[in-house]
Amino acid sequence: MAKKARRGPYVCGIDAAMDVINGKWKTLILWELDARGTRRYAELRRALGGVTEKMLTQHLREMEEDGLIHREVYAEVPPKVEYSLTEEGTSLNKALGSLGDWGQARIERIDTTITGPDQPQKA
C-alpha cells in the first residue's frame, strides 16, 4: 500500500501531530488499544460504538501506515487479525493524556455527561 502524501511543510509541531490524528476515531482507537491491549477488528468496532466499517477500516490502515499501530495477520481459517499499539502509538497516546485531562475537566465543568448538551443544567 502506498504511503499517503502529507500536506507539509508544517507550521509547528501541533500541525504535524494533527496531520496524524485527524479524523474523529483515531484518538479513540489509540485510547482503546492502550486501555485494553491487543484487539480484533470486531472488538474495536463494538468498543467504539457508532463507527462505520468503512471509517474504522480507513483509520486503521492510515494508522498502520503512520506507524501508530501494528496489524498482525494469522494464517488461520477463518482469518484472524489483531491490532496493537506500536512504540510510536504508545508515545502519541501518552502525549494526548494532557488533552484528555483538559477534556475531562471540561466535561465536569459543563456537566454534559449527566444532562446532555440540550438539557437544562442542574441547580
> Can you state the percent helix, strand and coil of the chain, rounding each to 5?
55, 10, 35
Q: With residue 30 as reference, give the H or E element that holds it.
A: helix 26-36
Q: Is the residue at 111 inside a domain?
A: no
Position 114 pLDDT exceeds 50: yes
Write down the pLDDT at residue 103.
87
Q: Which three cell numbers stand for residue 8?
A: 507539509
The answer to whether the beta carbons of residues 64 and 48 sit under 8 Å apart is no
**Mean pLDDT, the chain, integer:** 86
Q: Is the residue at 61 inside a domain?
A: yes
Please give the model's pTM, rounded to 2 decimal places. 0.78
Q: Could you give the number of structural domains in the chain?
A: 1
The answer to whether the beta carbons of residues 21 and 92 sit under 8 Å apart is yes
The mean pLDDT of 47-72, rounded to a whole number, is 95
The mean pLDDT of 53-73, rounded to a whole number, is 95
Residue with cell 502524501: 5
Q: Is the residue at 77 inside a domain?
A: yes
* Percent of the chain topping pLDDT 90: 55
Q: Is the residue at 51 inside a domain?
A: yes
Q: Is the residue at 39 inside a domain?
A: yes
The mean pLDDT of 83-87, rounded to a whole number, is 97
Domain with 48 in it: what CATH number? 1.10.10.10
Q: Is the residue at 50 inside a domain?
A: yes
